[in-house]
Amino acid sequence: MNLKQNELEEKHRKRIRAEMKDKISQLYRYYHERGKWNDMEREAFNDLIDEYEDAGGSNSFVHTVVQPESYTWEVVERT
């Protein structure tokens, strides 16, 4: 019974990671094209990456491409 519970929990975490990775990828494409964002957008993006990591996410694309490039995007004032 305990093993089945663990399997279900891992499947749930895997689904959550996939959803977060998809959202990170969508946001990356958007901000990559613009090359800029405001402080609120940056904070929400970084929080999403933190949640992805907390859920066990360790995708190399997120950590080797997305995060490093996000540090180069211009931070603009909110409009």
Question: Taking the model in full, what pTM does it have?
Answer: 0.86
- Token digits for 63? 């950590």
Q: Which residues pair with 33 in a beta bridge?
A: none
> What is the block-wise mean pLDDT of the chain (79 residues), using blocks of 10 residues?
88 92 97 97 96 87 94 94
pLDDT at 2: 85
d(CA 54, CA 78): 29
